[in-house]
């Protein structure tokens, strides 16, 4: 890896998803770090801000929705693009309504994730 590589923080409670995303991103030139719940993810994002975060919506201990709200409240993390990932299929408007925030996530993907569309969105957001 060279020092210009962008870092992506993967936050998901499913180890297989974390492994799959990590391999996908590393094979495409990105560094990866991961967390298995929203609390751990937020702590890592504040301690060493990534260039982008992929965030599962439904996780035990602390949900992606709660973590997203915390990210927006922190000066350190408020401007990091977030791609929300979910196994459920709620309409984006309903999901955003539950967040009670004015800033929408930079992307929204349902599992199973279309890797080509995800990579296209990541490149659009961080190069």
Q: What is residue 96's predicted lDDT score, i.e. its pLDDT?
A: 58
How confident is residue 97, by pLDDT bands cut at 50, 70 and 90? low
**pLDDT of residue 10 exceeding 60:** yes
pLDDT, position 3 = 45
Q: Looking at domain 7-122, which CATH architecture does it have? A: 3-Layer(aba) Sandwich (3.40)
- Domains of the chain by residue range: 7-122
Summarised one tens digit per residue, pLDDT across range 27-37 is 999 999 999 99
- How confident is the model over 100-112, as pLDDT tens digits? 656 888 998 888 8
Q: Give the closest residue to 71 by CA, choosing from 97, 94, 95, 105.
A: 105
């Amino acid at each position: 890896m060279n020092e210009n590589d962008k870092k992506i923080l993967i936050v998901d409670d499913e180890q297989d998803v974390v492994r799959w995303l990590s391999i996908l991103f590393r094979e495409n030139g990105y560094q990866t770090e991961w967390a298995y719940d929203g609390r751990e993810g937020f702590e890592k994002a504040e301690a060493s801000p990534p260039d982008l975060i992929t965030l599962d919506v439904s996780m035990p201990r602390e949900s992606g929705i709660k973590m997203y709200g915390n990210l927006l409240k922190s000066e350190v993390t408020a401007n990091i693009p977030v791609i929300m990932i979910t196994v459920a299929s709620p309409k984006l408007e309903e999901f955003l309504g539950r967040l009670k925030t004015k800033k929408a996530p930079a992307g929204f993907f349902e599992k199973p994730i279309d890797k080509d569309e995800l990579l296209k969105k990541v490149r659009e957001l961080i190069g």
